[in-house]
Amino acid sequence: MINKKIIILILIFCFSFLLVNNTLGNEKDYFLTLKYNKVKVRQGPSFEYPVKFIYKKKYLPVKIIDSKDNFKKIIDLKNNDGWIHVSQLTKKKSAINISNLSIVFKKPNIYSQPLVRLEKGKMVIIKKCRDEWCKITSGGYGGWIFKNSLWGKIK
């Protein structure tokens, strides 16, 4: 009787550990941004690997999907992937507008004055976010936009 209880407790512990480990594994993806105007993306996690392509946009957001030594495997909005050295990345908050003609408002509500419409693909710098809104700047304009219109580092 006691042996059965011990076995059941061990099984419950093992399953709960696997469940927690699986959940945490999904949270490993996070965003960083490019630190410079020219960043080389390599085919593998070392300077020995050839350059796959070069980004030419400072603060472009990229999703980190893996890590090895001092290299991060990234993926961008268009599903291009590769490895970037950590010295080329920063935690600065930026995002890309993924909605067509998103409205930037003066204040974080839909009854506020609309300031400008952002085209799909436009990069923005994030100042702060709260609830479903983010305060952004882009192209000389600043204001509030819906958070669900953005892809990138908003947290």
Domain match, 116 and 146 both: yes
Domain match, 53 and 100 both: no
Residue 134 lies in a domain: yes
Cα 121 vs. chain centroid, distance in angstroms? 15
The residue segments making up the domain with residue 123 are 94-152
110: domain CATH number? Answer: 2.30.30.40
The pLDDT value recorded for residue 11 is: 46
Domain match, 82 and 134 both: no
The pLDDT value recorded for residue 2 is: 61
Residue 75 and residue 63 in contact, taking contact as beta carbons nearer than 8 Å: yes
pLDDT tens digits for range 97-137 = 999 999 999 999 999 999 999 999 999 999 999 999 999 99
Q: What is the mean pLDDT of each run of 10 residues along the chain (155 residues)?
A: 56 45 56 97 97 97 96 96 97 96 95 96 96 94 96 88
Residue-wise DSSP of 55-108: E--TT-EEEEEEEETTEEEEE-TT--EEEEEGGGEE---EEEE-STTEEEESSS
| Amino acid making up residue 52 | K
When divided into structural domains, the chain yields a total of 2
Q: What share of the chain is helix, strand, coil (3-state, %, to 5)?
A: 20, 45, 35
The pLDDT value recorded for residue 155 is: 80
